[in-house]
Amino acid sequence: MSISFQKLGLCRDARTGIITTAHGQINTPVFMPVGTLATVKSMLPESLSEIGVEIILSNTYHLMLRPGEGEIFKLGGLHKFMNWNHPILTDSGGFQVMSLAKLRKITEEGVEFRSHIDGKKCFLSPKRSMEIQYKLGSTISMIFDECIPYPTSYEYANQSTNLSIKWARISANNYVKREGYGVFGIVQGSIFQDLRVKSIEALKDLGFDGYAIGGLAVGEGHEQMVKVLDFTVPFLPKGKPRYLMGVGKPIDIVASVKAGIDMFDCVMPTRSARNGQAFINGGTINIRNKAFISDDSPLDSNCNCYTCKNYTRGYINHLMKTNEILGAILMTWHNIQYYSNLMQKLKKLIVSGKLYEYKNEELI
């Protein structure tokens, strides 16, 4: 078999479930910390496990460039390479080709581009992306698609969606099925309902193990994102995991869980941590602010993470202002714990049937 998904609880559109894979179970809804280069920045794999992280995301584009999927394959695959025994989902590289690569040339065969690192000419296609993810040993692979920028015209969105559908077929045909591993399709279509539905219907015919919604969190804003989810999610298969790519903000996660999404990823908790922003109950604080120099309280008095149990705002303020590595470690530990706690809270409210009794902002 491939991966399996069992729904456990429902509260209107929101749901809890378990994804079973060759590398363990994933309890949904779930947030996946981003480990782009085979590491979640500033965190040991053992620390992530201690927090309760069950799955992380790595990236095809970046690992293809450095150190190369062949090197990782020789060293036993991505799990052994980075000492992470739990599930790993790998993005196909489509988003990074759009956002990072230089001098892109898109054809029906794939994308020719210059590396953002050294300008070297590279080529990425649906078949190539599947080959790379196979060599990495990804628990969950993603099809290769074109991430449509925002804003865009209907004409371009339609053309791009058609291309992504073609690439989805090629991706499916080149994916190597293995017990406990899976591949997800990616729904495109920008903000246009008919294009989203067309994309879903084509992907459903290919029988993917899960379905991701791509092309959001690219500048359209919260209200537009929720609107797209409202007319997209009802067309997705009810018995498969649903993944909203690149989201993100706690308020967006809460709204998306209420819309029926199961999986999320974003660099926000780790990147924000390195920039001094801590997520706390009710909002955020910038720990670099002068007000925290003599503050002997934890980052969040309601948090049970390692950082909050052992260190003060004043000390972390000092670490961040002096660019000490420990500051990034402690901030990242806290932020990932915040996201983990948020997902646990949402799970409990779904099971109890009380999720919709709270406004979105009351839950972050």
Which residue has tokens 């290769």?
Answer: 144
Confidence of residue 114 (pLDDT cuts 50, 70, 90): confident
Instruction: Specify the pLDDT at position 94.
Output: 81
Residues 62-76: pLDDT tens digits? 999 999 999 999 999
Q: Does residue 133 carry a pLDDT above 80?
A: yes
Instruction: Tell me how far apart the alpha carbons of residues 67 and 13 are, in angstroms, rounded to a whole number.
Output: 42
Confidence of residue 105 (pLDDT cuts 50, 70, 90): confident
Residue 300 annotated in active site: no
Kindly name the residue from 145, 209, 262, 265 that is annotated as catalytic: 265
Q: Where are the domains of the chain?
A: 4-266, 275-364
- In terms of pTM, does the model score above 0.85? yes
What is 19-65 written as a DSSP string? EEETTEEEEESEEEEB-TTSS-TT--HHHHHHHT---EEEEHHHHHH
Q: Does residue 196 carry a pLDDT above 90?
A: yes
Angle, helices 154-174 vs 126-136, to 10°: value is 50
Residue 118 annotated in active site: no
Amino acid (one-letter) located at 130 = M
Q: Does residue 123 carry a pLDDT above 70?
A: yes
Residues 31-63: pLDDT tens digits? 999 999 999 999 999 999 999 999 999 999 999
Percentage of the chain modeled with pLDDT above 70:
99
Kindly name the residue from 91, 209, 252, 300 that is annotated as catalytic: 91
Which residue has tokens 């280069």?
Answer: 37
Instruction: Specify the pLDDT at position 113.
Output: 87
Pick the CATH number of 4-266 from 3.40.50.300, 1.20.1180.10, 3.20.20.105, 3.90.1150.10: 3.20.20.105
Instruction: Specify the pLDDT at position 352.
Output: 98
